[in-house]
């Protein structure tokens, strides 16, 4: 079953279109990266999922049911612009936020204590938030997002401002939550997060969905038949009508590295066959594009219309 199924959602404001006919499918128990430049419409989409605003057109289904007020407790949301009540004590704060999500007070007390213990911060219960450091407050915010055991967790730039140790801690917890059956949506710019954690991604640009799918498939789709070869010997001489040498440099003692882009119909084995006769091969690998490359290519590289045509042809 899909955790979330967004069908043809549009949202217009007076001066601009925030979302234009966007459809997404988020599989259950996935870690789903929602990517896109600032102002692309990610926040609007997340707010629609959280029922903070309503979509003008289209529908959202959550675990097979049409999105409804009763699903508020199903979702845990950590916004990018996040805060806490400064004057309120950590314990009271957690209880209040969990109760607003529909949890009973006794259950909320149980859960919040469990989480504080997990992070080894049980002595914070009576501390006021204004006395906490930023990193400490972030831990409390994370707990408030997940303590009501939501099946769908939406994290908007969760690692911004975290030190590496805390980021590591939170990453572990996120993976643990996924293993326990939660679905996680990341909205982020940080490509290393996407590379390390996400198994599915979608890219939104200028209110439209550009691409969506499993991370591996997306990467495969954007491979450009480029190979990186380490070899001994002289410069490579290849038939220019079939191979294009993009880059070549000498590393040490006769060892060279050459980047070769082959024509689309040439398979890797053919390239190797070609090379074996010409040089002494040290290593050979296909160049897999990073998410950052794909992101930049898609957003910057081409004009919107041309891009869409290109994608339609590719699919």
Partner 1 sequence: MNKIWLIIQREFLNRVQKKSFLITTILVPLIFPAIIGGMIYYMVQEAESAKPDTVQVVDESGKFSFENTKRFTYVKLAMPLEQAKKAYNESEDFALLYIPQFDINKPEGFAIYTKENPSIEKVDNLEDNLAERIRELKLEQFKVDEATLDALKTTVSLKQVSLSETGEEKSSNSGLLYGVGFVLGILIYMFVLVYGIQIMQGVIDEKTSKIVEVIVSSVKPFQLMMGKIIGIASVGLLQFTIWILIITFVSSSVLAYFGLKMPQEQMREQITNQISSPEAQEAVAAQNSKVVDFLGMLNEVNFAKIAVVFIFYFLGGYLMYGALFAAVGSAVDSIQESQQFQFPITLPLLIGYMSLFFVILRDPHGSMSFWLSIIPLTSPVAMVGRIAFGVPTWELALSMVLLVGGFVLTTWIAGRIYRVGILMTGTKVSWKVLAKWFMIKN
Chain positions contacting partner 1, by CB under 8 A: 13-14, 47, 50-52, 54, 56, 72, 75, 77-79, 81-88, 96-97, 99-101, 144
CB of residue 80 vs partner 1: minimum separation in angstroms?
9
E strand residue ranges, the chain = 2-12, 17-27, 31-35, 57-62, 65-66, 75-78, 152-156, 183-187, 200-205, 208-214, 226-232, 243-252, 255-262, 280-286
- Of residues 72 and 109, the one with the C-beta less far from partner 1: 72
- In whole angstroms, what is the distance from residue 32 CA to residue 260 CA? 33
CB neighbours of 83 closer than 8 A, spacing ≥ 6?
A: 141
* Full 3-state SS string of 4-70: EEEEEEEEECCCCEEEEEEEEEEECCCEEEEECCCCCCHHHHHHHHCCCCCCCEEEEEECCEECCHH
- Of residues 75 and 201, the one with the C-beta less far from partner 1: 75
- Of residues 65 and 304, the one with the C-beta less far from partner 1: 65
CB of residue 185 vs partner 1: minimum separation in angstroms?
13
CB of residue 85 vs partner 1: minimum separation in angstroms?
6
CB of residue 159 vs partner 1: minimum separation in angstroms?
17
- Of residues 30 and 43, the one with the C-beta less far from partner 1: 43
CB of residue 169 vs partner 1: minimum separation in angstroms?
21
- Of residues 97 and 275, the one with the C-beta less far from partner 1: 97
């Amino acid at each position: 079953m899909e955790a979330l199924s967004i069908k043809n959602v549009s949202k217009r404001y007076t001066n601009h279109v925030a979302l234009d006919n966007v459809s997404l499918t988020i599989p259950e128990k996935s870690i789903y990266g929602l990517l896109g430049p600032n102002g692309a419409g990610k926040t609007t989409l997340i707010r629609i999922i959280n029922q903070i605003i309503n979509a003008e057109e289209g529908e959202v289904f959550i675990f097979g049911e049409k999105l409804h007020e009763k699903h508020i407790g199903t979702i845990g949301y950590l916004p990018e612009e996040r805060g806490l009540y400064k004057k309120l004590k950590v314990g009271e704060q957690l209880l209040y936020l969990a109760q607003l999500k529909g949890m009973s007070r006794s259950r909320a007390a149980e859960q919040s204590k469990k989480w504080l213990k997990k992070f080894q911060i049980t002595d914070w219960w009576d501390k006021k938030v204004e006395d906490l450091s930023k990193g400490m407050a972030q831990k409390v915010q994370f707990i408030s997002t997940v303590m009501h055991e939501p099946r769908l967790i939406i994290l908007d730039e969760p690692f911004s401002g975290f030190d590496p140790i805390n980021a590591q801690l939170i990453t572990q917890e996120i993976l643990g939550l996924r293993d326990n059956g939660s679905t996680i949506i990341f909205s982020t710019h940080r490509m290393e997060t996407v590379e390390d954690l996400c198994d599915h991604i979608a890219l939104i640009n200028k209110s439209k969905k550009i691409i969506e799918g499993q991370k591996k498939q997306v990467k495969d789709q954007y491979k450009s038949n480029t190979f990186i070869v380490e070899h001994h010997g002289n410069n490579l001489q290849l038939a220019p009508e079939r191979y294009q040498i993009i880059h070549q440099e000498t590393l040490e003692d006769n060892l060279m590295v050459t980047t070769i882009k082959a024509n689309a119909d040439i398979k890797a084995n053919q390239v190797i066959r070609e090379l074996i006769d010409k040089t002494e091969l040290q290593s050979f690998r296909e160049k897999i594009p990073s998410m950052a490359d794909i992101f930049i290519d898609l957003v910057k590289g081409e004009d919107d219309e041309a891009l869409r045509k290109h994608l339609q042809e590719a699919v």
